[in-house]
Amino acid sequence: MSFCEDGSAAECASKLTDTDTRERVAVWDAVAACIQEQLMVQKGVWIPTFGSFNTISKDVETEGRTVTLRWPVFKLARNLLAKHRLTPKKESLPAHMELEPMKFSNVATIANVTWQKRRACVQSTVSLLSSCLQNGQNVAFVLKGIRVLFIDRLTFDMKFYYDFVEKLS
């Protein structure tokens, strides 16, 4: 976890927006649940200012035969890529894929918060992420049950959890 001058990143973001840390965690856990639900039915999802998630077909060689798996991929939002001059360490989403915007009303319902709180949590977290990158900090951002986004200097890498990849396949 990244630390600011007077506390953890989540604490700093909470101070900036009057959102409670528990609410922030609940909102991002709900975002993760919605992403997982969309990917399980082979639909991509776009989170404005953060990035896009989808699955692609990937051939894997196993014991002399080829198995085609659904593989999760992530594309960081253009605003973060351009502002911080980041490049992916490996493949990301193909440019031609159509994605649905995240249904944030579902997120607010799952997290049991108002849409205003949900909006504040998502916007302030993305702002905090950008601020940490601006200050040259490395970042690890966890989406519960799905993956960890690592941003190290000028590159980013998405590490999907084995259990999640297994569920998709």
Position of tokens 């399980």? 40
Quick count: other Cβ atoms within 10 Å of Cβ 168?
15
Residues 133-146 have a mean pLDDT of: 88
Reported as a single tens digit per residue, the pLDDT across 63-118 is 889 888 888 888 888 888 888 888 776 655 555 667 888 888 889 899 999 888 88
For residue 30, the model assigns a pLDDT of: 94
For residue 34, the model assigns a pLDDT of: 93
Position of tokens 């200097």? 153
* Structure token digits, residue 29: 């856990």
Residues 150-155 have a mean pLDDT of: 80
Integer Cα distance of 31 and 61 in angstroms: 33
Strand partners, 152: 155
Residues 116-122 have a mean pLDDT of: 87
Looking at every residue in the chain, the average pLDDT score rounds to: 81
Strands 155-160, 147-152: parallel, antiparallel or unpaired by DSSP?
Answer: antiparallel
For residue 35, the model assigns a pLDDT of: 93
Pairwise pLDDT comparison (160 vs 91), residue with the higher score:
160
Please report which helix (H) or strand (E) contains residue 26, including its range: helix 21-40
Strands 45-47, 51-62: parallel, antiparallel or unpaired by DSSP?
Answer: antiparallel
For residue 91, the model assigns a pLDDT of: 57
Coil, helix or strand for 107? Answer: helix
Among 25, 16, 35, 12, residue whose Cα is nearest residue 141: 25
Reported as a single tens digit per residue, the pLDDT across 9-35 is 444 444 444 447 888 899 999 999 999
- Is the full-model pTM beyond 0.85? no
